[in-house]
Every structure is written in C-alpha cells, then in structure tokens.
Amino acid sequence: MSKSKVNVPEARAALDKFKMEAANEVGVSLKQGYNGDITARQAGSIGGQMVKKMVESYENNLKTNG
C-alpha cells in the first residue's frame, strides 16, 4: 500500500499533526505509523472532521481577507 503523495514534503508533519488533532476531536485514538486497526466509520469521521476544519479555515480567511 502506498502513502498519499504530498506535493510539499515539509507539509507531511503538519498534515500528520492535523490528522491527530481531528482524530482526538472525534474520539478516535490514533498511533504514529500504521492505523489499519481502526474501522471505516472511524476513518471517515477523522476525514470528515479534517474537511470541516479546512472549510471553516477557508471561510474565516475569506471573511478577514475578502
């Protein structure tokens, strides 16, 4: 299995931290490295929380810079 490609390699650590924060917010425990033991529902909750936070950030940026 291959990892998702990150266009800016330096961003990998920030994305991992963001994912851990999102997982914590939805009550899913992640560990560093492989997390194949979580359910699809848990993984979806993490991804959904990440998208929600990205949209909120974008909207806030529009308000302050728009």
pLDDT value at residue 1: 45
- Print the domain residue range for 58: 11-27+39-65
30: tokens are: 């992640």
Residue by residue, DSSP assigns 24-65 as: HHTT----SS--TTS-HHHHHHHHHHHHHHHHHHHHHHHHHH
For residue 17, being part of any structural domain is answered with yes
User: What is the number of other CB atoms lying within 10 angstroms of the CB of residue 46?
Assistant: 22
The model's confidence at residue 4, banded by pLDDT at 50, 70 and 90, is low
Total tally of structural domains belonging to the chain: 1
pLDDT per residue as tens digits for the range 39-61: 999 999 999 999 999 999 999 99
For residue 55, being part of any structural domain is answered with yes
- Round to whole Å and give the CA distance between 5 and 59: 26
Q: What global pTM score does this model have?
A: 0.79
